[in-house]
Structure 1
């Protein structure tokens, strides 16, 4: 499945209205984040579950608003599982693997 890029509050709200999805907060300059993104992309190709990505450097304000609104400390890379308009699970750094994402479904 393709990764939807979330860059605005409106795009985030649209995803929340659709239902459950994963969101990866990704740093464009961090090698750990590049590894996490690779695992995330691997998962998205193996699954029909909706997957979105937020590039931190391009949408820092939105990233901070998500951390504040959903009371989840910002980390990068970080994956969040949204269900029923809430973050029900999150993980960061090397713990972001395709297997870990599959285990959350």
Structure 2
């Protein structure tokens, strides 16, 4: 699992990876902390590529993703990108290892 900081890094992911998971999370929210644990467990036990950002550290990137894909920002918020586009996203308590494995 790799932390992404910049719009350029994110755009490189869209170009270079056919399929990957991405998580926006807050460093101060307990709900986000739980979602991060579920996401981490999923990524660490699978062959899927996973990336994330911390909203407090990467507000510009977080806003960019919301605007580029016309998906309202939430935190925590998980995405599955396929062929450079989000094919799934969900937030808060719906981010579970079980839900991610089903994708």
1:80 aligns with 2:57: no
Normalising by structure 2, report the TM-score.
Answer: 0.96
Number of aligned residue pairs: give it: 102
Deviation beyond 6 Å, 4+ runs, structure 1: none
Partner of 2:91: 92
1:37 aligns with 2:17: no
Range with bigger deviation, 65-74 or 14-23: 14-23
1:14 aligns with 2:24: no
Partner of 1:27: 26
Unaligned residue ranges in structure 1 (runs of 5+): none
Cα RMSD (Å):
0.7
Partner of 2:101: 102
